[in-house]
Structure 1
Amino acid sequence: MAEFQNAFQTAKEWQHNMPPWAGVQVHPPQNLPEVTQRAIDIYMMSRQPNGEMGGIGWWQAANGYTGITLHDYWSGTNKNYEQLAQTLKQCERNHPGLINEFNDDTLWWAMCCVHLYNIGGDPWFLDKAKGIYRHIQGKNSICGRGQIQFQNQDMEGACFWTTKPDEGQINSISSGLLAELSARLAIIEGSTNSKTEKHPHLSKLQAVLGHSQPSGNEYIETARCSLGWILRCRYRPRDAVVLDAIRLKKGEAVDWTFSYTTGVVLGVAALMYEATKEEEYMTLACHIAHRAMRNGSWVEDNGVLTEHGSYGKGNHDPAKNDDSVGFKSVLIRHLGTLYEVIRRTGASSPEAQRTAGLIRTFVNINFESQQQRNTNGNGQYGPWWNGPFELPTSHSQMAVMDVMAVVMLVNRA
């Protein structure tokens, strides 16, 4: 409780000065849909006969397809929907339920299914997403109340990295993705916390922590609980970043700070605001977004997101795939999630409106950088978002799919 109260107070009281690039005027090209679709078409040329993508891994393929799905959803079209729908069904025939032993891998696929369901309404995709939710629950992959203690803290709500019986690692990405899936399923089902009553002595802050009385809504409670663990145990309030993992058998915390772990939690906070209308979630989401967009370890002075330490020029061979190449794309995606929630819910607080404007500028700057510094002009993109362009690969093309999606969202009339 104390750790999250500190985090919330930091978010509430922080004065968000605008970064130097906030005043930059960037206007997308008139042919924006053609530019983004060209990038998608190039990427899909690497699709293999089994539905997976050449040159990248299983979870990365899910993220690339999710970026394309969101491009359709956020641009109000279904240009890529049929191809994506058939591709996922093809993948599922080879990977029943779209499930493997890594909970985070499986949950990335669940997210793609949720977005495809939101576009086409095909119950097959909703069934698969719910099946993954049940799979995580049924494999005892979530720490129950009082089950595990680490450094005198209850690990309730944490999700294990894998479904292996002897798995000893709980991490923020699997827990954050479980919270995101749960929140999205709650929104789809229309089962929000406003339909239930809390015990009168419980504060909203207690609800955020997941220590409220049972609400009758399993999805919301799962999301509260997993997000609550992250905010208690893996969130660093001073710079609003989410830390990586806890290795229970070794008794050590892994305090790596990747942009994608923070990005997913930012998205969860936004979705929980939509599901519950509790202002704490919007305050927290806006705070994390502001801090992420000016995090000196991730963002260059000109506003371009590079996360240089994870996958940057001089640190990696651009021809070689690496999980971290797409971390920054997940942060961009969930800045889009927050932007969408602010617009869809009509969140009218000055902070929400100012954050939406800053996200729009940030996304347009990053899209423009792709066009000026990171392409050969043929719809192909390299891994260095701030340039220079070196060579296109499946993994570099995958990483820009979310840029192509969110730029359509923030420039949609």
Structure 2
Amino acid sequence: MANQKQETKRVNVAPYIIIPLLLILVTFGGLFLYVYSKRDVARIVVDFPITERMIYLEIKNMERFGIKPQTNSTATEIQEFYSTARAKAITNLTDFFVVLQKARDTNQYDIPGDQIEQRIKDVLAMSQMNTLDEYLTEGEVSESEFRTQVKNQLIYEKMTDPLRAEVGQPMAAELEEYFNTVKDQLVVPETVDFDMIVVPDEKTRNKVLEELAKGKGNNFAEVAKKYSTDLASRENGGRMISVPKDSIPEVEVKNALFPPTPNFPLKLEQGIIQPIVTQKSGEYIVRLNKRNPAQKPALYGTVSLYNAESKKYEKVEIKPQVVSMWQNTKGESAVSAYVKRLSDYYESRIYDRVKGNMPWAGLERFFSSIFGNSLWNQIMGVEDK
């Protein structure tokens, strides 16, 4: 054949480059978003993630029960406290969720809606709050979070209450031995019964004392309702019953009612109306009615306690209280042993960010190598180590 010009067909290679790049970018982005969505997870207990939000709410719950730093703590001490509290919160949540996981594994995870609604009503009643919104605001939780908390708590109780119910009655010797370990907790401290009127200044105090003198003290309740600024006692005519020393915040009043020394000059005598000036809470007019000495209980004895409903002192047997305490202690021990067995059983399926064994830990290391540790930690919202 003669010289023929052969045509070369051009191949468009762009799709072969762009499409794989797009696939890589989509995959890369998807993996990044997946890891980023897990940044709030501190631990996984099988099917249950423990998030930073849950840890925060658990610490707030501890604070409501009085577990908080001392008011005079240093910045370092406060930091150490919250570090310890965080570890405790994670442990508490882990113990809680292993029980819930057992419920899920054994098809016991459902709770009827009416039980949830009833528990919500009970919680509101115990908190003495009028509305659910008020409770949610105080607890810093959404309604969805709260309902989940209530449901989970009911599941936890369903799984653990039978263990507590199995605890029987203690033998006499066993109860006596237990009583010897807790009897100091059952001591009823010294208390006082007294009347008080709180006023803002010396002028009002003198006016109150003048009216009380005219009535020879028999009009104390009437005068208290008329002048006292203390809302807690005013409606009762200023009467305070069975008040222990630690329940009186004003030092001057506390020392007058519970003198630090036998010859304390401002010690109140029974039946005498006496003014007391405080540094923080204004002027007090106080009348001591009765001193109730401390009571050391005996296992088969009684103590005298004030009943706010009947408004009188009543004899209360000690033994039933000790039996109840013993049963609670034994029940909690049974639950703790149960939780320990579950923790051991699920141990291989509990993942922790600090230990670096999260299911996505490899992806985190991959992205950290690309972005650099410092930038990656900023992206994930954690502090540089």
TM-score class, shorter: under 0.3
When normalised by structure 1's length, the TM-score is 0.21
